[in-house]
Structure 1
Amino acid sequence: MTANTPRVRRTQAERVAESDRRLMEAAIRLIARVGYTHTTLESIGIEAGYSRGLVQHRFGSKDQMLEELVNKIATDQRERLLARLQGLRGMDALLCEIDCYLEGMDTPPERARAFYMLMQESLGPAPHIRTAFAAISARWHRALARQIEVGQEAGQIRPDVDPAAEARLLIATLRGLRMQSMLDPNTSNIAKSIDSLKCGLRARLLQTL
């Protein structure tokens, strides 16, 4: 673009989308750094380069904004996962879920830290977002259980395996490993943990000849 090239004006919708993105990213950075309690609408606005009034105008309240933030992080993660799950079914899909969820455990991104901090605080000072996390967990549980059922229908996974119970165990294990890596990455052998989890899953679920 030269000095004489006319500047393209963004539409109102584009400006709103840009400000929403910046506000969400600012909230993620702050929550990852100082947690839910110490993150305020004013601090989010300042971090994003806007005013507190804009944050309140867009989202109404801190609680409403954080609920939207939780759902956005989960939706973005799910979309990335679905792109990688293309063509995978049954056990292959379960192993892909493990890889996707535990990627970057040694250097967790800010959004992962923010997500887990909010999950923990939903049990204490932020109970209003607990229903959002419960809904996310329920959707994930259904998706994992369905992949186990697909594996059973294909004769790949043992018919006596309880899909719901195994899906619940896998979610708990993945979240536990993720949390442990954040608490003390120096004591978490990430690659070994992932390999052990996959080996254990294969041993429990796969049909034997």
Structure 2
Amino acid sequence: MYWKPIAAALLPGLLLSGCAGGAARAGTGTAAERVTSWRKVATEADRKRLRDWHRAWDSALPRARTADGGAIAADPALFAPDEARSGPALPPGGYRCRVFKLGAAGTAMREFTAYPAFRCKISDEGGMASFQKLTGSQRPTGLLFPDDGTRMVFVGTLMLGDETAPLRYGADPQRDMIGYVDRIGERRWRLVLPWPSFESQLDVIELVPEEAGAAP
């Protein structure tokens, strides 16, 4: 399991209990007890991106609908900006994740792109959850923080190509990522990434547990 070195690389100030010889070296308690708010971690630029999440939908969704209205209409829960059910926390385990990019960021990009399923993983270490996209050339990797009853907040960085470890969060603003997790079905979630640095205005990652089979 490589959650601990990833967490240490992402947030050097967050020392997890159990790493580097057992207990956390600074302060007491587990990571979940010591850092519970994404606002204490996220950069000001990322906090602004998250505040503007609905504006990202408002800009990207009409463009995606013009490009492929059939795909958008076929999955109303996935592409409804305000769709959210209670219980957004994802159970640990392997997930089948599909990536959708909405709204072109640049003239060479498409307004809607759907990728085949990749592999993702949710890990739970001491009450703090992590998300890792395991396959593909672009792999968001980071931490999931509780926010309210209908969403969790993702704070992380983007791994590219054959990289084996993420950059430290905050070291490269173009690699920093922020987003939120909604539960949109009985065993179906989405990670929404507003205003990513590359290719699109909004990324939507559908997450379905591997054992659950195809999403409805």
User: When the two structures are superposed, what TM-score results if normalisation uses the length of structure 1?
Assistant: 0.28
What TM-score comes out, normalization by structure 2 length?
0.27
Whichever of the two has the greater Rg, that structure is 1
Which one has a larger percent strand, Structure 1 or Structure 2? Answer: 2
